[in-house]
């Protein structure tokens, strides 16, 4: 009898520890939890999916059916909470994490020990990329993170790297806009025809580093709906060519800067000459106008005198002749034969 009582008390103690006290749990401030019942995540009432969440607007139309996940009930920080023996709790940290984009979570030796991510440009030049990415788990799509992907962080980082390499391989610099001068347009067309300044090089990538970062941010806006991971920011900080190419690029940059400087000086000199020519034409026009105005005034005065009467013009001419005689030192007059 005492043995049976001991067995019952032992079983009661085990049941208390295993299913009552063991069923209590808490959720930290930087965590969120999802409860599963017999392996099935507890959904929110109404059978809602992630397609009804605003994060799904960045999915392409052909992706919407593929990435339609059920919305699950998210357990907020706090506790203690209780779960039944057939229930399990999956906790996830939603803290923002920062990582070198060259780090391979499956193979630490890859990408030169996680220091430089390699990519091939459009002109078949192997280049090294450095930078950081900042990401966190999406609280609105914990189902995709916990149950949609086996290794979500590995998958999402691989997606980021593949998009970045694809962009590097197909990157084209933005056109600077059509020149206003037709002669410049013809020169630009001839430059394109000869193949100059059309190859996408590391220089183009460096000049458009901000556009490259913005492109990556736009491409990663759909990751919360796809994988349950939010990219807070991606910052590509360096694009470095191989050592044997660095000196050649430096020489190209120096020559390009010198040509740009010469072109700027030539344009400034031409603009100055154009301004000087315009001012000279304006001055000569004013001089001609100054010479013409007295003639016009005299013609108008003579016309008014002619209209005054037949003898007025004769009197005017006589007075003018006398004024000329008064100023002259010698006068030659025609004598009659």
Residue-wise pLDDT tens digits, 26-78: 899 999 999 998 888 899 888 889 998 888 888 888 988 889 999 999 999 98
Contact by Cβ (8 Å): 18, 72: no
* Selection from 14, 235, 326, 40 nearest residue 6 by Cα: 14
* Rounded CA separation 255/262 (Å): 11
CA distances from 331 to 94, 260, 320, 321, 323 (A): 114, 71, 15, 12, 13
* pLDDT tier, 111 (very low <50, low <70, confident <90, very high otherwise): confident
Q: Inform me whether the pLDDT recorded for 190 exceeds 50.
A: no
Residue 34 vs residue 318, higher pLDDT: 34
The predicted model gives 147-156 an average pLDDT of: 86
Q: Inform me whether the pLDDT recorded for 9 exceeds 80.
A: no
Highest mean predicted confidence (pLDDT) among 112-121, 265-274, 310-319:
265-274
Q: Which CATH number fits domain 14-174+192-247: 3.40.50.1820, 3.30.420.340, 3.30.479.30, 3.40.190.10?
A: 3.30.479.30
pLDDT attached to residue 336: 63
The predicted model gives 115-129 an average pLDDT of: 81
Q: Dig out the tokens for 284 from the structure.
A: 């000569």
pLDDT attached to residue 185: 46
Q: Inform me whether the pLDDT recorded for 261 exceeds 60.
A: yes
* Rounded CA separation 70/48 (Å): 6
> Which of these ranges, 18-22, 35-39, 154-158, 252-256, has the smallest mean pLDDT?
18-22
| CA 22 from centre of chain | 53
In tens, the pLDDT along 216-226 reads: 888 888 889 98
Q: Inform me whether the pLDDT recorded for 202 exceeds 80.
A: no
The predicted model gives 16-21 an average pLDDT of: 63
* Rounded CA separation 73/47 (Å): 11
134 burial level (CB within 10 Å; 0-12, 13-18, 19+): middle
Residue 299 vs residue 253, higher pLDDT: 299
Provide φ and ψ at 276, rounded to 5°. Answer: -65, -40
Q: Where are the alpha helices (DSSP H) in the chain?
A: 2-15, 110-114, 142-143, 152-169, 182-194, 202-207, 209-219, 223-227, 243-308, 310-327
The predicted model gives 299-326 an average pLDDT of: 77
Contact by Cβ (8 Å): 252, 259: no
pTM: 0.60
* Selection from 111, 131, 127, 99 nearest residue 216 by Cα: 131
pLDDT attached to residue 180: 47
Contact by Cβ (8 Å): 156, 234: no
User: DSSP secondary-structure letter at 77?
Assistant: S
Instruction: Please state, as a whole number, how many other Cβ atoms lie within 10 Å of the Cβ of residue 12.
Output: 10
Of all helices (H) and strands (E), which one includes residue 100? Answer: strand 97-100
CB contact set of 209 (below 8 Å; sequence gap of 6+): 236, 239
* pLDDT tier, 252 (very low <50, low <70, confident <90, very high otherwise): low
* pLDDT tier, 197 (very low <50, low <70, confident <90, very high otherwise): very low
């Amino acid at each position: 009898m005492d043995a049976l009582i001991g067995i019952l008390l032992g079983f009661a103690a085990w049941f208390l520890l295993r299913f009552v006290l063991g069923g209590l749990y808490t959720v930290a401030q930087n965590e969120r939890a999802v409860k599963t019942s017999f392996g099935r995540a507890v959904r929110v009432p109404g059978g809602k999916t992630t397609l009804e969440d605003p994060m799904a607007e960045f999915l392409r139309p052909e992706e919407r059916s593929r990435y339609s996940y059920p919305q699950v009930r998210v357990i907020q920080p706090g506790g203690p909470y209780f779960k039944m023996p057939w229930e399990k709790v999956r906790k996830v940290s939603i803290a923002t994490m920062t990582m070198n984009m060259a780090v391979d979570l499956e193979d630490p030796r890859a990408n030169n020990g996680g220091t430089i991510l390699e990519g091939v440009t459009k002109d078949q030049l192997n280049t090294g990329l450095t930078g950081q990415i900042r990401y966190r788990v999406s609280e609105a799509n914990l189902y995709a993170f916990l149950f949609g992907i086996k290794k979500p962080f590995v998958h999402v980082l691989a997606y980021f790297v593949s998009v970045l390499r694809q962009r590097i391989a197909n990157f084209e610099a933005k056109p600077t806009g059509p020149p206003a001068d037709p002669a410049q347009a013809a020169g630009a067309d001839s430059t394109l025809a000869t193949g100059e300044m059309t190859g996408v090089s590391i220089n183009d990538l460096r000049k458009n580093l901000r556009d490259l970062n913005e492109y990556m941010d736009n491409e990663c806006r759909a990751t919360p709906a796809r994988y349950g991971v939010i990219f807070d920011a991606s910052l590509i900080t360096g694009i470095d060519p191989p050592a044997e190419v660095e000196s050649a690029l430096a020489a190209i940059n120096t020559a390009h800067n010198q040509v740009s400087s010469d072109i700027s000086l030539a344009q400034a000199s031409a603009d100055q000459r154009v301004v000087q020519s315009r001012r000279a034409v304006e001055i000569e026009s004013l001089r001609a106008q100054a010479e013409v105005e007295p003639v016009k005034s005299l013609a108008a005065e003579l016309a008014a005198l002619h209209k005054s009467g037949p003898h007025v013009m004769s009197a005017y001419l006589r007075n003018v002749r006398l004024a000329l005689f008064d100023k002259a030192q010698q006068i030659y007059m025609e004598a009659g034969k």
